[in-house]
């Protein structure tokens, strides 16, 4: 049998090669069309012109007019300016902010550092702010661009002694541990100066779960990442940009261990596993910095049973840098302590025993058991009770992802469990062992001869993730001015969160070694969390001037306070100190009863739209994109201050002294003139005695109710039925979830030592 000619074989193989090559070329072209074209996130360009000087003068004039309306026969007339800022804001250089920006979450796309500058200047009209992107995914390139962008922002601020805006460089150290012993939480590190020689070469990242998530694929599996650009083809570029962002973050090599921070190269990722390591590295660098803990009660990521206790010990504290705490943000209130049994470092809880509910608090582990109980049907009672007990333990074992111990559970199943139902604007899944009140009351007695207590000043900020510092100036645009976000439709929700299934009759024990490798979208309770996102707070500084140095000195004096967003003016002074009157933040030794005065002025009611010069500077498109068409635009009237609340805390004098009895909240309620925007009250504490213990006093100025985004949180009725304010498609996009809210300001404490 004769074979084919060699030429015919070659021709056949040429045809095969051409066909295969053509197919490969088509596939490569298709892959590039779908998956090519991703770009690196840039820093943006700061608008080249700042506020006109006459507008800055008008701002100061309104405040002088308010001060002139105050009357006090005892306290000196205020001389310092009160400046408002936000020391906690993220751009899309942060991994979680990048996820929020995605089209699947109805995101707007990139919001780089330059947007934060323009927003602070033209939209929220702040006096100062700081960029604090998460260090864990900041590349060397993005860190340098952040510093350069902040410098650009300051360069157009006008007279350095009287700038329209002061911008600070900073980053967030974002630590999350699996257990209370491993968890330290989040801290913002803010630097005073702008010169390259006075700023670090790289940010210092944390270890732990959050760091791993941010350096990964932004919480999305490879299969999902591969499919999304096809499903959302017209908006595929933003997803491709995410791939570039994730690759760049993952490509940064870790810095060598055991090398002095000042000697490390600029292009590696430096890590600090604990606050002690972080403080040590900051010592080595020698740059002037302030470290501010925040989110200390936010149970979204904080393990059950967490307390601040271990951060009171030597090494874990740094009073020279860490002397302020963020008591309020867009993630809620972290001020108030609650003595819920088992939820504050209980040994039972840590051993996996679920505490019983109280009249005002139901642990979610308990709710898990009740959900299983309702599905026992005709089971024998003993078997049902065993399922209930197992469900409670399984919930606790799963930690922050406890709801996944019950497959198919929905937000409505959990009702209001885990929440502080009587707190003002509480953070989600409240952890009272991290509250500011608990921290001030608790002591470290490692050295009985020298007990240690924190003396934190109080501040607030936004924690905004769309480069919008100071979002609380108006209560609008919930999905742009808060972190409320989620899949834009049901099919997207099923792709990212999983299919909707019936609630299982029994719980499951999750393997933590695998569970924490799941994408964060499936790890945490993002659906109920969206009901707790607020427009955020502000930090107010009593300052000798508008310039950088004066603001920094005010922060260092702790002559600061926080507000829930409204620009309430507040003064809190000790009148009879040994050297004369002393302001909030002071530490004073006294031999007799202290006398205090509080003066407050309500925030200006807002007018619609923006000041005229803002519209002259920004194009209509730019104004709509960053400000959503609304700016800080104060009118001539001010909100009424309804009352002053005084909190008294007596720090522990021995380690076994119960904290519950040491926090008196409120110790006093002092009424203000009805309907008046100004309020001046005085009070004395006659109960103290020479040779006694230290006592801490701080005040809250409470404003008349106004509507605010998510002020009702889960919107639960007395029967426990809740109507969550979802960040996704299930809540209409024009629903800002407004509810009455008593906006407020928290003074920094005055620390009075009667020991002599």
Q: What pLDDT is attached to residue 26?
A: 52
Sequence ranges of the domains in the chain: 53-338+420-484+533-753, 343-419+497-517
Q: Check residue 23 and give its pLDDT.
A: 67
- DSSP per-residue string spanning 337-395: ----TTSSS-HHHHTTPPPPPBTTB--HHHHHHHHHHTT-TT--HHHHHHHHHHHHHHH
Averaged over successive runs of 10 residues, the pLDDT of the chain (756 residues) comes to 61 69 59 70 96 91 91 82 98 94 92 98 98 96 98 97 97 92 96 98 89 64 73 89 90 94 96 97 97 95 91 96 98 94 51 82 94 96 96 88 89 93 96 97 94 97 98 96 91 80 91 51 76 97 98 98 98 95 96 95 97 93 96 97 98 94 97 97 89 92 98 92 93 95 98 84
pLDDT of residue 418: 93
Cβ 304 vs Cβ 345: under 8 Å: no
C-alpha to C-alpha distance for 744 and 460, rounded to whole angstroms: 11
Tell me the average pLDDT of the chain: 91
**Residue ranges with strand state E in 550-662:** 560-563, 569-574, 582-583, 587-589, 595-601, 604-606, 634-638, 641-649
First to last CA, the chain: 117
Rg (CA), the chain: 28
Please write the tens of the pLDDT for every residue from 600-626. Answer: 999 999 999 999 999 899 999 999 999
- The predicted pLDDT at position 516 comes to 45
CATH of 53-338+420-484+533-753, one of 3.20.20.140, 3.20.20.70, 3.40.1170.60, 3.30.70.20: 3.20.20.140
- With a CB cutoff of 8 Å and minimum separation 6, the contacts of 100 are 107, 465, 466, 483, 485
Question: In whole angstroms, what is the distance from residue 268 CA to residue 135 CA?
Answer: 12
User: pLDDT value at position 401?
Assistant: 82
CA 404 to chain centre: 24
Euclidean distance between CA atoms 422 and 414, whole angstroms: 18
Furthest-apart CA atoms within the chain: distance in Å: 122
34 DSSP β-pair partners: none
Give the pLDDT of residue 523.
Answer: 62
Is 662 exposed, middle or buried, given 0-12, 13-18 or 19+ CB atoms closer than 10 A?
A: buried
Q: Cα–Cα distance between 719 and 82 in angstroms, integer?
A: 44
User: For residue 342, what pLDDT is reported?
Assistant: 47
Query: Alpha helices of 215-272 — where are they, by DSSP H?
Result: 222-231, 236-251
Separation CA 199–CA 197 (nearest Å): 6
3-state secondary structure of 538: strand
Which pLDDT score, from 0 to 100, does residue 83 have?
98
From residue 384, alpha-carbon distances to 362, 370, 391, 510 in Å are 21, 11, 11, 21
Residue 71 has phi, psi (to 5 degrees) of -130, 125
Residue 173's nearest CA partner among 93, 268, 273, 247 is 273
């Amino acid at each position: 049998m004769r074979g084919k000619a060699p030429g015919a074989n070659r021709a056949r193989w040429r045809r095969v090669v051409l066909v295969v090559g053509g197919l490969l070329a088509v596939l490569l072209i298709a892959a590039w069309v779908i998956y090519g074209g991703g770009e690196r996130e840039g820093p943006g360009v700061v608008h080249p012109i700042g506020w006109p000087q006459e507008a800055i003068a008008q701002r100061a004039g309104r405040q002088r007019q308010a001060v002139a309306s105050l009357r006090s026969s005892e306290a000196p007339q205020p001389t310092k300016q009160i400046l408002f800022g936000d020391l906690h804001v993220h751009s899309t250089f942060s991994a979680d902010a990048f996820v929020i920006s995605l089209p699947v979450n109805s995101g707007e796309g990139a919001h780089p550092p330059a947007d934060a500058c323009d927003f602070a200047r033209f939209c929220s009209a702040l006096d100062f702010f700081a960029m604090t992107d998460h260090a864990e995914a900041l590349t060397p390139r993005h860190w340098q661009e952040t510093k350069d962008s902040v410098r650009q922002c300051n360069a157009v601020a006008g007279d350095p002694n009287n700038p329209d805006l002061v911008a600070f460089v900073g980053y967030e150290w974002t630590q999350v541990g699996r257990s209370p012993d491993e968890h330290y939480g989040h801290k913002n590190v803010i630097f005073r100066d702008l010169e390259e020689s006075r700023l670090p070469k790289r940010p210092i990242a944390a270890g732990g779960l959050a760091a791993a998530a941010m350096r990964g694929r932004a919480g999305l599996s490879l299969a999902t990442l591969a499919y999304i650009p096809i499903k959302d083809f017209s908006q595929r570029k933003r997803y491709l940009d995410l791939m570039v962002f994730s690759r760049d973050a993952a490509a940064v090599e870790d810095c060598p261990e055991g090398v002095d921070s000042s000697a490390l190269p600029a292009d590696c990722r430096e890590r600090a596993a604990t606050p002690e390591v972080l403080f040590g590295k900051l010592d080595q660098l020698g740059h002037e910095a302030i470290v501010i803990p925040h989110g200390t009660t936010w149970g979204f990521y904080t393990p059950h049973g967490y307390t601040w206790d271990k951060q009171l010990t030597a090494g874990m504290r740094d009073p020279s840098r860490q002397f302020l705490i963020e008591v309020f943000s867009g993630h809620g209130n972290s001020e108030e302590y609650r003595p819920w049994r088992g939820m504050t470092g209980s040994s039972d809880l840590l051993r996996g025993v679920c505490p019983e509910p109280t009249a005002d608090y139901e642990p979610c582990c308990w709710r898990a058991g009740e959900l299983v109980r309702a599905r026992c049907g005709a089971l024998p009672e003993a078997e049902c009770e065993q399922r209930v007990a197992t469900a409670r333990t399984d919930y606790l074992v799963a930690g922050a992802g406890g709801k996944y111990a019950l497959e198919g559970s929905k937000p409505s199943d959990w009702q209001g469990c885990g929440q502080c139902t009587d707190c003002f604007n509480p953070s989600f899944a409240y952890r009272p062992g991290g509250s500011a009140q608990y921290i001030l009351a608790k002591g470290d007695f490692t050295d009985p001869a020298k007990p240690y207590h924190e003396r934190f000043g109080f501040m607030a900020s936004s924690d905004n993730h769309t480069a919008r510092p100071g979002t609380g100036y108006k209560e609008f645009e919930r999905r742009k001015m808060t972190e409320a976000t989620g899949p834009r439709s049901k099919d997207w929700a099923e792709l990212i969160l999983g299919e909707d299934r019936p609630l299982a009759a029994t719980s499951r024990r999750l393997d933590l070694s695998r569970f924490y490798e799941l994408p964060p979208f499936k790890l945490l309770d993002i659906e109920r969390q969206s009901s707790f996102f607020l427009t955020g707070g502000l930090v107010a500084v009593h300052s000798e001037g508008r310039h950088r140095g004066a603001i920094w000195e005010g922060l260092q004096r702790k002559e600061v306070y926080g507000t829930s967003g409204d620009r309430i003016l507040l003064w809190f002074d000790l009148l009879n100190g040994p050297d004369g009157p002393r302001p909030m933040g002071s530490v004073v030794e006294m031999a007799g009863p202290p006398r205090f005065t509080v003066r407050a002025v309500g925030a200006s009611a807002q007018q619609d739209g923006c000041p005229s010069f803002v519209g002259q500077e920004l194009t209509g498109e730019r104004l709509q994109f960053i400000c959503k068409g609304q700016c800080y635009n104060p009118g001539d009237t001010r909100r009424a201050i309804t009352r002053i609340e005084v909190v008294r805390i007596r720090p522990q004098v021995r380690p076994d002294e119960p904290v519950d009895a040491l926090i008196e909240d409120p110790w006093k309620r002092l009424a203000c003139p009805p309907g008046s925007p100004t309020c001046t009250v005085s009070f004395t504490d006659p109960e103290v005695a020479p040779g006694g213990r230290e006592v801490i006093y701080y005040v809250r100025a409470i404003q008349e109710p106004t509507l605010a985004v998510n002020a009702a949180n889960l919107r639960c009725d007395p029967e426990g039925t809740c109507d969550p304010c979802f960040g996704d498609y299930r809540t209409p996009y024009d629903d800002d979830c407004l509810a009455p809210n008593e906006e407020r300001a928290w003074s920094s404490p005055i620390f009075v030592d009667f020991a002599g």
